[in-house]
Structure 1
Amino acid sequence: MTDKRPCKVCNFTRQKSYGLVVPSLDELKAKGCEFLGFSPSAPVTVVLEDDGTIVEDQAYFLCLPLNTKFMLLHEEETWSPLRRMDGGTAWMARDSVLLETDAVDASTAEAPWLDLAQQLKQDLASIILMSEADLQMLVDAPRPELAFALGFQEKKAEDLQETLQRVLDRREEERQSKELLQLYLKAADKEDRQLEEPSQGGAGDVDVPDGMEVDSASGFMSRTLMVLKGKTSPETRLSTEDLQMVVSRGVEAMEQVLGWDRTKTSALLQACKAELTKRLEQIQAVQSIRSNTLMDSSQQSSEKSAEQGIKTAAQGSN
C-alpha cells in the first residue's frame, strides 16, 4: 500500500487552503473537492500552486516534495501567479480571470488592461492611485470583455467606464486651470516689468522645457507629437503655444507631421482651433478684469490726489 503524503490544496483565488494527507492523486482530487466545497462530480484539474504545472501522472505526484501545495481548477478557471502588491510589503491573492479557452493564451499580451481590471475587482478605491494612462486603457477596453473580467453586467461596466472618463476629464480641467493661471501670472509679471523698465522693452525670451527634445523634421517638441497622436481629446492636453503652432501649420503640413489622412487631420485642427479660441477668450476675460481693477485703482488715486489738492488750496486761502 502506498504511504500517505502530506500536502496542501487551495482554490484558484488562494482564499481557501487546506492541509491533506493522501496516498494518491485521485484521493487528492476527491478530498480536495470535499474540503473546497466543489461538487464531487465536477471535473477538476490539479496544478502546482507556485507555477501552474499540470499534475496528471501518479508517478510524478509521488516524486514531488512533501507539503507541496496544489491548486484545484474548474473548466473555466485558469492559474495565475501570486502578485506582489503594496510596494513589496504584502502578498495578496488575485482572482484568476475567467476566459474562453481559445482566448487564454494570448489574453495577457493582447489585453494589458486585464491587470488593471483585476485591481478594480479587488478594490474599486484603487482608481485614485491609477495614472491617466491606466485610466485611459480601461476606458478604451472592449466593454463586454471588461464586464466579463470584472464579473459585472455590461450596463455596470458602461457606468464604470463613464465614471473613469469623468475622472480623466476632471484631471484635465484641473490641468487647464493651472495652465491658465500660469499664463495670467506670466502676462502680469511681463506687464509689471515693462512698466518698471519702459526703455528696455523688447522681444521676450522663449521658454523651452528642460529635457524636452525638438523633432528636427516637424519642429514640434517630442511631447507635443505624443499628445497629438493620443486617442482622446489631444487638443485639451496641449499648451496654448502648442495649439497656436498646430493651427498655424495648416492641414497639409500637419498631414505630413502626423502621417494621417486629410479627414482625420482636419478634424484635429478644427478641435485645436476651437480649444484655442476658448482659451483666448478666457485670457481676454481675465485681462479685462485686471484692466478694470487697475483702472478703478488709478481713478481712486486720481480722485484722492484731487481731493488733497483742494484741501491744500483751501488751507492756503485761509
Structure 2
Amino acid sequence: MKMMSLIVPCYNEEPTVPIFFDAVEKVFANNPDTFKDVRHEYLFINDGSSDATLTEFRKLHTAHPELVHYLSFSRNFGKEAGLAAGLQHANGDYVAVMDVDLQDPPELLPQMLSLLESGNYDCVGTMREDRKSEPAIRSFLSRSFYTVINKVSKVQIIPNARDYRLMTRQMVDAILELPEYNRFSKGIFNWVGFRTTYLKFKNAPRAAGETHWSFWQLFNYSIEAIVDFSDVPLKIATFTGGLFAFLSIIGMIIVIARKLLLGNSVSGWASVVTIMLFIGGIQLFCLGIIGNYIGKIYLETKHRPQYIIQEKK
C-alpha cells in the first residue's frame, strides 16, 4: 500500500490545527474508493510558534501516534524552512504541501490523487480563480509581482498558484537535490520541471485566526523571489551605470567646448547639483542591487542549517 504524506507548516495556528485535522480526515473518510490503496500521514511543522500550536500537535500525536507526526523548530525560521523540513522528512510515495488555514481546500485531494495515479502527471498544483476577498492594493501588487518575475526570469511562475500541491516521490527527490539556503518554493517547484497540471478553486476565508503575512513581509518575499531566480536586476544596474557614464562624458565634452568657444563660466549650479544628486541616487540604487546578491552569496557560503529541530515525534 502506498503512503501519502501531508506537510503542514504552522506558525501560531493554535485554533486552526484541530479544525484542519477534522476537515482532512472527513475527506479521507468520505472517499474510501479513491484512497483504498493509499494510506496517509500528517507531518506538522511548528515554526517557532509563541502560542499553543505545539500543544495541539502533541494532543493529536497522542491520540493518533501512527497518523500524526510533527517537527518543532527552536525558533521561527520562516515558511520556506518549514517546507524544506517537511520535504526532507516526508516518507510518502505521494507528498502534499498544504496550509493549515483551510484556504487550501482538502476536498481537492481525491481529484489530485486520481490525476497522479493516471500516470499523466508528476505534480498536481492548485490556483485560485480570483482574489476577491483580498484588499484591492494587495491584489494589484500580486499581479504586478507575477508580471515582473515572469518577464525577468526564465522560470515561469503561474499567477495565483498556491504552494498547495501533490507530488510524486520522484519529483520530491529532485527538489531535495537543490541544497540552497535561500529558497523560493514556487520557483523551485517549476524549476525542477516534471509534468504538472493545475486545478482551480474559489478563494475561501481562513477557517480561524488571522494571517501572519504583513504587507512588508510579502514585499520582501517578492524581492527575494526575483533575486533568487533572475540576474536581470544586475544587468539593469550594469546598463544604468553604463548609460549614465556615457551621458556624463557627453556632458563633460559640452562643458569644455562651451568654455573654449564662448569663454564664459557655466551657469546653473542648481541644475548641476540636482543632476549630481540624481546620479548619486542611481549609483546607490545599483549598489543596493549588487549588495543584495552579495548578501545572498554570503549566507550561502556560511553553510548554516535552514532550521534547527528542538522536538520531533
- Identify, as 1 or 2, the structure richer in helix: 1
Which is bigger in relative contact order (C-alpha 8 A, separation at least 6)?
Answer: 2
CA radius of gyration, larger in: 1
TM over 0.5: no
More strand by share: 2
TM-score by length of 1: 0.24
